[in-house]
Structure 1
Amino acid sequence: MNFDVLTFGRVSIDLYSKNIGAEFNDIKELTTSIGGSPTNIAVGSQRLGLKTGLFSAVGPDPTGGFIINTLKDEGVDITHVQTINNTTSTAVICGIIPPDRFPLIFYRDNAPDEKITIDHTEKINFSRYRSFLMSGTALAVEPARSAALYATEKAKEAAIPVILDIDFRAISWKDIRTHGIVLRQYLTQCNIVIGTEEELLSVFLEDSNQVSIKESAITDPTISGNVNEAIAKVMKFGVDLLLVKTGAEGVVAYHKDGTVEKVPGFKVDPVNILGAGDSFAAGFLYGYLNGWDTYKSCRLANACGAWMVTKQGCCNFAPYYEEIIQFIENKGGF
């Protein structure tokens, strides 16, 4: 079987608060899902109709078994989800306190996805895939960083597009300046880059004091800097397309030829912003790999992101194709 996309990076069990609005200390019930940006993108893309695979790792524990079983149920190919001995599968606890407080607590001591090696990458036949999506967080530590770079080399040799979701997580980097150094080098290998304005600024960080993280909201940091300068710098690396997510406003697409497209979002009442960016990426991939133009692909992506912020979780609430098309039609169409 051939596949539309292979995603690389973290997979976890996510425990979401069922008590919307409750302070973290007052959470009484949790619901289970799987998570991690590349995992959410793989599941979201699969639900829309693409054939997806995940390159990641779990530990030899019941949590890893839960993750593998859930991926199978979603139809995501697990051929390259490794089980690595002497590691512990990742877990995340997520609070939901609308409108703007979504604390996350990560349990990633001895995380298996950080132990992925070049030898694991060697087993992948990239000619079976139509695209390769890299999560920026997967570049944070060795040996996973070298495995990721080698996977990207193999994707380039197979002449398939490389998509980078910047996915900035300050806690994943011992020195956040390293994040910028590594990402700037990686940008030279990318065809498409996806990120928020803050994530674009993160690529050019010079001082850790530029980053402010409030109440464990590590997926939504405040970063100081000049966004327009960051956008111009990214485009100088030669990427074909840069998608800058601007929340409820939608997305701005910057093309290699200098064309700029503003693609509006969809108005909804948000419950939980976690996973919205991953759902966006899944929607864009569906349109892009089906030959849609950038505007239509981004409208689908915006719809998927808007859908997700109304839900109480991440990929376990990702829309199926018929659902999201009806959502778009109900809000005025493409």
Structure 2
Amino acid sequence: MTHELLTIGRISVDIYPNDIGVDLEDVTSFGKYLGGSPSNVAVAAARHGRNAGVITRTGDDAFGKYLHRELRKFNVDDTFVTPVKEWPTAVTFCAIMPPDDFPLYFYGRFPTAPDLQIKAAELDLEAIREAGIFWSTVTGLCQEPSRGAHLAAHAARPRTGLAEGQYTILDLDYRPMFWASEEDARAEVAKILPHVTVAIGNDKECAVAVGEGTPDEQADRLLAAGVEIAVVKLGPEGVMAKTRTERVVSAPVPVETLNGLGAGDSFGGAFCHGLLSGWPLAQVLDYANAAGAIVASRLSCADAMPTPEEVTSLLAERGRLVPALAGAAAVPSHTTVSEGAAS
């Protein structure tokens, strides 16, 4: 089976409080959800009708069984999800303090976690090679054997241009607790970037990858490293995507934030859907922005991933360009300039 999207890396059980605006020590009840950024991205893409799978590992325990069950529930292929006897399935707690405070507490990830025990020799390189999009994160590079597996997977991918419709995406997802230093992370990212078609990150993540600078300077450095689409998230200013010939900025889609933790994963799954659909870059960004906003307005991550109908409905409500209405009258929500004007 050829996957339209195949992700690799982190998976966990997310334990999120049902009590909103309460410190974690005072929470009285919780909900249990599938978590882990690459796994959430696969779920998000599956919600958009894409054939998605994930390469990861869980503990050989009840939580591992739960994660298999959840992946299947969301129509994500779990063929490449295998157990590790030595380490328990990782669990992540958070507190939910809207609008912008969502501290995470990782358990079962130190000194290692099952999803960091992915081994190069166990990879199905043909499946990785054939996938329409292969998605990985910087977190997967933080220790061996996962680091070697990620390098082997990226080396197996064909180096195709945008015209071929096959993409290798690196989520610059930098989490300092998993690294000795930013310099160590930057060195590992530098090894991967020549194999990457698209890089996605916020200002801090881009700074770790290619150094401090303006969003345009960071995007230019990613392009110089071999990336063909550099996506820099601008926080309240929206998101920018830049190629060697185009610069697009998509304004944010305002919503009342409940839990911002899954918004980036929803953005990622929707972004993949837009690329696979062959939409113009501006349209891909608008759609992904709306998908991320929807999840930010909801409690959970994987369970909150929107359907295409929900995304297009929000875009229409906000007067934004809807994919099905391309060419019809709509309020422009992005600007596109030539490379010369963007510098």
- Whether TM exceeds 0.5 here: the answer is yes
Flag structure 1 segments of 5+ consecutive residues without an equivalent: 206-223
Residues 154, 192 of structure 2: 8 Å contact kept: no
* Deviant stretches of 4+, over 4 Å: 224-228
Query: 1:49 offset after TM fit, Å?
Result: 1.0
Pair 1:33-2:9 in alignment: no
Amino acid at match of 1:12: S
Specify which of 175, 180, 191 is matched with residue 185 of structure 1: 191
SS of the residue corresponding to residue 274 of structure 1 reads: helix
CA positional deviation for 1:230: 2.8
User: In percent, how many aligned pairs have the same letter?
Assistant: 31
TM-score w.r.t. the length of structure 1 is 0.90
Task: Determine if the alignment matches structure 1 residue 279 to structure 2 residue 285.
Answer: no
Deviation, 1:231, is: 2.8
CA contact (8 A) 1:248 1:267 kept: no
Secondary structure of 1:32's aligned partner:
strand
TM-score by length of 2: 0.88
Cα pair 1:47 1:321 within 8 Å, conserved: yes
Shift of 1:313: 1.4
- Which residue, out of 100, 113, 124, partners 2:115? 113
Query: Any idea what SS the aligned residue of 1:163 has?
Result: strand
Aligned-partner residue type, residue 105 of structure 2: I
Q: Which residue of 2 aligns with 1:254?
A: 242
**How many Å separate the matches in 1 of 2:125 and 2:169?**
21
Match of 1:217 in 2: none
SS in structure 2 at match of 1:132: strand
SS at match of 1:275: helix
- How far, CA to CA, are the matches of 1:115 and 1:26 in structure 2? 34
Deviation at 1:154, TM superposition (A): 1.4
The 3-state SS of whatever aligns with 2:261 is: coil
> Does 224-233 or 234-243 show the bigger shift?
224-233
For residues 296 and 225 of structure 1, do their structure 2 counterparts lie closer, same or farther at Cα, with a shift above 3 Å needed?
Answer: closer
Give the distance between the partners of 1:90 and 1:116, measured in 2 at CA.
14
Q: 1:232 and 1:123 mapped to 2: Cα distance?
A: 31
- How far, CA to CA, are the matches of 2:255 and 2:57 in structure 1? 35
Q: 2:200 aligns with which of 194, 204, 213?
A: 194
2:180 to 158, 174, 179: 174
Residue 315 of structure 2: aligned partner = 328
| Alpha-carbon separation, structure 2, partners of 1:79 and 1:123 | 14
* 2:71 match: 71
Matched positions, count: 315
**C-alpha distance in 2, partners of 1:37/1:10?**
6
Deviations along 1:179-228, one digit per CA (max 9) or x if unpaired, are 011112211111111111111011146xxxxxxxxxxxxxxxxxx76554
Tell me, in whole angstroms, the C-alpha distance in 2 between the residues paired with 1:84 and 1:200: 32
Deviates more, 1:171-180 or 1:66-75: 171-180
Aligned to 2:88: 88
2:23 equivalent in structure 1: 23
Flag the 1:176–1:127 CA change in 2: closer, same or farther, 3 A.
Answer: closer
Q: Which amino acid aligns with 2:207?
A: L
Q: Distance in 1 between matches of 2:254 and 2:77?
A: 34
2:223 to 223, 230, 235: 235
